Structure 1
Amino acid sequence: MSLPLTDGSDAEIAALALAGRQDAYRELLSRHREPVFRLVRATTGDPHEALDITQETFVAAFAALARYDRERPFSVWIKQIALNKCRDWARRRRVRSFFTRAAPLEDAFSVYDDAVPADVQAADRAELARVTAAIVGLPVRLREALVLRTVDGLSQAEAADVLSVSEKTIETRLYRARSKLKALLGD
């Protein structure tokens, strides 16, 4: 008798999914849905869009599962896909904003976020909104490094792997991101 899916590695479960086991897809989704959602929400600053982008991430990942290199961590691979989906979302958003001119971009930063998980709720929602807006306002490369290290809790090496850059680049981007945040938020 084979081991339950929950005992298998991500690479083993990916192989089972490719072999047609639907429960293997569900297991991969179960293992990685929350971390991917947190990463996307922190990157976009919009919990409603984050749900859609997270779903798009898994649809794209499962469609490309045959290209997953099982020698690398699945979590790194899926986070790379998620960040690419966030970049696509940001490009589409800029284009829509340019053509529609519906509302100033600053209005988008004041969206009330009541979908923050209990383990990361802040006592002062106004301060949380201010910090979130400041993070979303960072340049993409700085924001991604900051989110991967501080929100997602990845090590410097893991963040470098996800972004396909050196650890020194992550260190530099983190320093710059924190400096910009300090300037934006004050002390």
Structure 2
Amino acid sequence: MSPSLTERSDPELAALALAGQQSAYAELMRRHRDAVFRLARGHAGDATEALDITQETFISAFAALARYDGARPFRLWIARIAINKCHDWARRRAVRRFFAFARPMEEAGAVADSAPSPEEAAHSQAELRRINAAIAGLPGNLKDVLVLRAIEGASQAEAAQILGISEKAVETRLYRARNKLAEQLRDDGPGRV
């Protein structure tokens, strides 16, 4: 009797998915979607945007599954794809902002990013929102390391492998990211976004 999908390793599931077994890819998604979502949320600072990035990540991963090297951990491979999708999202957002400001004000409302109203913000978890916004506001190279190490719990070696940098660079960037985040949160003060 063959093992169930939940008992199989990630490389085995990837091979089964490539052979056409959709339930194997569904199991890979189930295993890794929360981590990918947290990574995306750390970048975007917004749950809705993070969900879109997560979906894009898994669509791209499925399309590139034949290039997955089963000798490497699947979570590192999918994290790299997620980070690339986060960077794509940030570029698209910058372009949308540019065009929002380039158009007449009466037309800009339809293009601008929708921000929560003060009433919605008052009902949300204000402190968590403030922290997520501060993380999202970090430069990309610092944000990548902070999210991987502090939120995803990746080791220094894993983060270095995902980002294609040295372990020392991971250590340095993490130190800078934590300092910048602490400074930003201190300057903003509690309850401010």
**Coarse TM-score class (shorter-chain normalised):** 0.7 to 0.9
User: How far apart are residue 139 of structure 1 and its match?
Assistant: 0.4
| CA contact 2:45–2:129 (8 Å) conserved in 1 | no
The aligned counterpart of 2:31 is: 31
Q: Deviations over 1:72-123 (max 9, x none)?
A: 0000000100110010010000001001124788x68x88498xxxxxxxxx
Q: Distance in 2 between matches of 1:48 and 1:97?
A: 18
Relative to structure 1, the CA distance from residue 59 to residue 112 in structure 2 (aligned partners, 3 Å threshold; closer, same or farther) is farther
Count of paired positions: 176
**C-alpha displacement of 1:3:** 0.9
C-alpha displacement at 1:174, in angstroms?
A: 0.6
1:55 to partner: Cα distance: 0.6
Provide the rounded CA distance (Å) in 1 between the counterparts of 2:10 and 2:164.
21
- Give secondary structure in 2 for the equivalent of 1:15: helix
Tell me by how many angstroms 1:68 deviates.
Answer: 0.4
In the alignment, structure 2 segments of 5+ residues that lack a partner are 102-107, 188-193
Shift of 1:18: 0.5
Residues 80 and 162, structure 2, Cα contact 8 Å, conserved in 1:
yes
Q: Aligned Cα RMSD in Å?
A: 2.2
C-alpha distance in 2 between matches for 1:156 and 1:132: 22
**TM-score normalised by L of structure 2:** 0.84
- Contact 1:57/1:85, CA 8 A, preserved across alignment: yes
Is residue 47–residue 113 contact of structure 1 (8 Å, CA) maintained in 2? no
8 Å CA contact retained: 2:40, 2:50: yes
Q: What residue number does 2:191 align with?
A: none
Q: How does 1:68-147 map to 2 (within 5 A)?
A: 68-101=68-101, 102=108, 112=121, 125-147=125-147
Letter in structure 2 aligned against 1:182: A
TM superposition score normalised by structure 1:
0.87
One-letter amino acid of the structure 2 residue matched with residue 141 of structure 1? N
- Map of 1:41 onto structure 2: 41
Q: Are the aligned partners of 1:113 and 1:129 in contact in 2 as well (CA < 8 Å)?
A: no
Q: What is the CA distance between 1:179 and its match in structure 2?
A: 1.3
| 1:160 counterpart residue number | 160
Query: In the TM superposition, what is the alpha-carbon distance from 1:42 to its structure 2 partner?
Result: 1.2
Provide the C-alpha distance between the structure 1 equivalents of 2:182 and 2:100, rounded to a whole number of angstroms: 33
Q: How far is 1:143 from its partner?
A: 0.7
Mapped partners of 2:62, 2:38: distance in 1: 19
Give the equivalent residue in structure 2 for 1:12. 12
Partner SS state of residue 3, structure 1: coil
* Secondary structure of the structure 2 residue equivalent to 1:41: helix
Corresponding residue SS for 1:186: helix
Give CA-to-partner distance per residue, 1:127-146, whole Å, 9 cap, x none: 22222221111100001100
Please tell me whether the aligned partners of residues 76 and 158 of structure 2 are also in contact (alpha carbons under 8 angstroms): yes
- Deviation string 1:22-58 (CA, Å, 9 cap, x unpaired) is 1111111111111111111111101101111111110
